[in-house]
A and B are shown apart, each in its own frame.
Chain A
Amino acid sequence: MSFRSQAYAALRICYFNGIMPLWRSPLLIGAVFLTPFSFLFFLYVIAPRALFPFGVVGGVLFTALFTGNGMLNDCAYLRLERQLQQVYVASPVRSLTYILGMALSELAFALPAMVLFLGILLVVHPFGALAFAALVGVVLLTWLMACTLGFFVSTLFQQLREIWPLGTLIFSTLSVLPPIFYPATVIPKQWQWVAYLAPSTYAGQLADGVVGLGGGITTSVAFLNTPLFDLVGLGAITLLLAAAATYFARWRER
């Protein structure tokens, strides 16, 4: 199959695995909204008003990050419970095509919540078209990173039961602990660098940066304080995970 056919196949997978079920049971969207909105509501009630925009950006990124949790569960489910991944392995569909198709399905699920959060953000903290485009870019990169991570982790297990709690654990940790919903300045200065251990921190830094919220991590190395570092970091992690997912993953079992 040509490159074009592979790309078409990924879109087709997104259509029947993402858009079709959403269309048939719209209640599924509710599940995506629930957690980030609870967080946001919580912040709205307890945090100073000035921090609220950070919370809204956090909501956007949370939704993007949790596509990884969906990816992890759906891929494991299709492989282990339905034996359907095998049907795609034994076919001209490449592993990357399947991963992309599944990731696009997760994006379809997350899209309504993302749009709403972006709308709220524009209201509480207006910014220009360029910043908006940059923010969308950051969100897409975050989604790719989360989905490659989700797929990779899903392939390490042979039991659905082991996977269910794991996904929530990984992606909650990634989206709640690091400075996603709050500015990094809340963390004592000498400990701020620790946040860089979480891949989601790069996304948070970039997102807050492009919409001009500030509140970023400061370290003694000047380069680490630039958005370029965050971009390179997020991009590198995504590429690394994609490579790991395609090489070590159970596209073909050992």
Chain B
Amino acid sequence: MAVLEATGVSKVYHGRRGTVHALDGVDLSIPKGQLFAFLGRNGAGKTTFIKVAATLLLPTSGEVRLFGEDVVAHPEAVRPYIALVPQEGRPFFHMTPREHIYEYLRVRGASGESAKARTEEILEAMGLRPFEQEPAYRLSGGVQQRTLVAMILATEAPFLFLDEPTLGMDPFGRRQVWEVIRRATRKGSTVLLTTHYLDEAEQLAEELAVIEGGKILYRGAPEALKSTVKREVRLQFSGGFTRSELGEYGEVIEDRKRLVLLTTRSRVREITERALERGSEITVGPVTLEEAFLELVGRGIEEEE
């Protein structure tokens, strides 16, 4: 059963750059308990979609239903069932992580007892214990972000909107957040998150959608997205080759000092032999979600032009 059902959602902004179609006929359904990731370049429309679905923004046209209720016509029917981590949010400067979580739960109507228990639990799970008594202005950026995410996840709301929840977090912090998000879905919450870390999407999401220019380009499992890339092997070189030399084997991506080649299985032997002759260091592996994303969106942009 789909708990989020979007049909033909569009949002048009009229600004100095002319008319911007931030969303352009988005259809999307997310089943109950799913961990769903939104991927897309900056300005693709991810935040706009989240804002519309989370009753923060009116769409120009189209419909979003959450738990069967129309978010435009009956926002107040939807709001008790949702919680949101806004993109680049910041906590109240004078409050500690513990106070943020506890007070937010109380404001949302939780009893003192339940708020207390949930606060303790999430402080532990999110690794916020060492900071629980510090006012937010003394916390580092990543810990402030963890505080906000903890505050929202502690609500255990049936639908969680997380707009770049792990922004600015270290790899340990990110893993803690992933674990808490997974636990939320095990308890029955549905999660819609956005991220620019493709490894995160790969680790976390059961399904994802790639959005570009306000349109959905792809919707499916992360594994399936990887298999859309025609070249299935990824070779990374440090020196020894020029870009044009590698070009004849497949698609070349320049990644700072390194060259990355996406190619087919059949050509791997030939290239590795040449690399060994030249003493170039080379790493061979499967195509990552990042490459699949780059290729998919790159194709999308070309078609547009």
Contact = CB atoms under 8 A, between A and B. Distances in A.
A20 B95 contact: yes
B90 A81 contact: yes
A91 B94 contact: no
Given A16-B103, A81-B90, A84-B92, A90 B58 contact: no
Interface in B88-106: 88-92, 94-95, 99, 103-104, 106
Contacts of A254: 57-58
B93 to A, nearest CB: 8
A1 B106 CA distance: 12
Interface in B16-64: 51, 54-58
Contacts of B148: 87
Contact of B84 (A25, A82, A90): A90
Interface residues of B, number: 36
Contacts of A253: 51, 56-58
B80 interface: yes
B109 interface: yes
Contacts of A94: 76
Nearest to A13: B107
A1 B80 contact: yes
B92 A82 contact: yes
A93 B161 CA distance: 17
A93 B89 contact: no
A99 interface: no
B90 A82 contact: yes
Contacts of B106: 9, 12
Contacts of B107: 9, 12-13, 88, 91, 93
Contacts of B91: 82, 84
A13 B92 CA distance: 12
Interface in A56-108: 81-84, 86-94
Contacts of A49: none
Contact of B90 (A15, A24, A83): A83
A92 B94 contact: no
A21 interface: yes
A92 B109 contact: yes
A86 B151 CA distance: 13
Interface string A13-29: 10111001100110000
A81 B88 CA distance: 9
A252 interface: yes
Nearest to A89: B56
B257 interface: no
B152 interface: yes
B259 interface: no
A83 B56 CA distance: 11
A150 to B, nearest CB: 19
A5 interface: yes
B58 A252 contact: yes
A252 B94 contact: no
Nearest to A15: B103
Nearest to A23: B94
27 contacts: A9-B108, A9-B109, A12-B103, A12-B107, A13-B107, A16-B95, A16-B99, A20-B94, A24-B94, A81-B90, A82-B90, A83-B87, A83-B89, A84-B86, A87-B89, A87-B104, A89-B56, A90-B54, A90-B79, A90-B84, A90-B161, A91-B79, A91-B82, A91-B107, A92-B108, A93-B79, A93-B108
Given A84-B86, A254-B57, 4 more contacts: A20-B99, A83-B87, A83-B90, A87-B152
Interface of A: 1, 5, 9, 12-13, 15-17, 20-21, 24-25, 81-84, 86-94, 252-254
Interface of B: 51, 54-58, 75-76, 79-80, 82-92, 94-95, 99, 103-104, 106-109, 135, 148, 151-152, 155, 161
